Amino acid sequence: MNILILGSGGREHAITWKLAQSSRPLKLFVAPGNPGTSSIASNVHIDPLDFEGVRSAIIENRIGMVVVGPEAPLAEGIADFIEADPALAGVAVIGPGRAGAMLEGSKDFAKRFMIRHGIPTAAYETFTPDTFEEAVIFMRGLQPPYVLKADGLAAGKGVLIINDFDEAVSELQSMLGGRFGAAGNKVVIEEYLSGVEMSAFVITDGITYRILPEAKDYKRIGEGDTGKNTGGMGAVSPVPFATPLFMSKVEERIIKPTVEGLRSEGIDYRGFIFFGLMNMNGDPFVIEYNARLGDPESEVILPRIGSDLYDLLEGVAHRDLGAREIVISPETAVTVMMVSGGYPDRYSKGYPITGTEKIIESTVFHAGTAMVDGHLSTSGGRVLAVTSGGSTMAEALGKSYRSIGEITFEGMNYRRDIGFDLKNREG
């Protein structure tokens, strides 16, 4: 089977790395990939949003399965595009069509879906430029902080949490006034949920599902969870407070009604679902859905899957996931993201990276790297995700931080406190 993985970050490197361990004879292609994927697969120089380019790559390389990493091509309808093309008949896509990707692509759609199916989530209302006055009245009835969400995809920047009422009103005005472009034509205002966050992941064939390892990511740039939001500075799996009791509530109250809800609405969802959750005194609430795996969460959940990932993907393609087993390792996995100086604000690129070849205790997933004049160099904000396993979180973290000590590039930054809030909760 020839498989094409779409995307270029740490998540796609981790997916490719996991598939490369399959016992099945797979030939792996990544578009566009990165220097990390090029060592275990063939990179194809195509942008995942260039659907005609993807089509040619599928035909040229006799691809039988496409695994979609990021959300943008899903929201743009890559799965529908492939399925509608007779020349691509039989090509399986791991990732939902446009309708299913709305779970991530429209916060208003996701909220209405959850209400229809009785899935626990924060109380909310949706507003447009025409209902600004009503929005202000609605906000007056809420307790601060105020949570404002641009309806559409805004590259993780569309959520504002604001303590001051007047500031919230002026931010709302700017969102509805076009600050996030079309993504802000509608704004969801919701109740603030206080608790501890974590994420659950499933793979589904549209009928049944398999639960993947859960994870917690560290979104803020600064230690102690301070400063600006980033794409994610590190992650750990398992999550100590995700007890069997809590996870059984997640499955009964959230996962099952989501998969059944999609099916009952005629949305043929085949792919990954990422549930961003808040644990409020032991009860799970959905903060957001994503129609894909997380990054850097993939870099800790995939290493913990003991079974063959291809077997699960084939179960999705053949719609017999119910007949496939997933084995999850009890080991802890952690990843620490090495980022460019200045990220998530302005940063420079093109600095040479040294030391990755010396790493033996960890797996280095490439996030934002490029080969420049034959030398591995930085090419993004998030540069490398350094993943390690261990029988405890402390052991795994020790390995990642020792490995990071071997790697250098100008301006490099990373959080020294990944897992800090969980260390004394480990059983």
Instruction: Give the x-and-dash track for 275-304 against ligand AMP (CB under 6 A).
Output: -x----------xx----------------
Please report how close the Cβ of residue 256 comes to ligand GLY at its closest, in angstroms: 23
Please report how close the Cβ of residue 171 comes to ligand AMP at its closest, in angstroms: 14
What pairing do the DSSP bridges indicate for beta strands 146-150 and 124-127? unpaired
For ligand GLY, which is the closer residue by CB, 121 or 290?
290
Q: Which does 43 bind (CB under 5 to 8 A by kind): ligand GLY, ligand AMP, none?
A: none
Instruction: Give the x-and-dash track for 162-191 against ligand AMP (CB under 6 A).
Output: ----------------------------x-
Q: Which does 401 bind (CB under 5 to 8 A by kind): ligand AMP, ligand GLY, none?
A: none
Q: Using CB under 6 A, which of the segments 178-186, 287-295, 381-389, 402-410 binds ligand GLY?
A: 287-295
Q: Which does 122 bind (CB under 5 to 8 A by kind): ligand AMP, ligand GLY, none?
A: ligand AMP
Residue 225 in the binding site for ligand AMP (CB under 6 A) = no
Residue 422 in the binding site for ligand AMP (CB under 6 A) = no
Size of the site for ligand AMP (CB under 6 A): 12
Q: Which of 193, 233, 359, 397 binds ligand AMP (CB under 6 A)?
A: 193
Q: Which of 297, 299, 308, 314 binds ligand GLY (CB under 6 A)?
A: 297
For ligand AMP, which is the closer residue by CB, 41 or 160?
160
Q: Which of 108, 217, 308, 314 binds ligand GLY (CB under 6 A)?
A: 217
Q: Which of 122, 168, 203, 359 binds ligand AMP (CB under 6 A)?
A: 122
Cα distance between residue 372 and residue 302, in whole Å: 29
Site for ligand GLY, rule CB under 6 A: 217, 231-232, 290, 294-295, 297
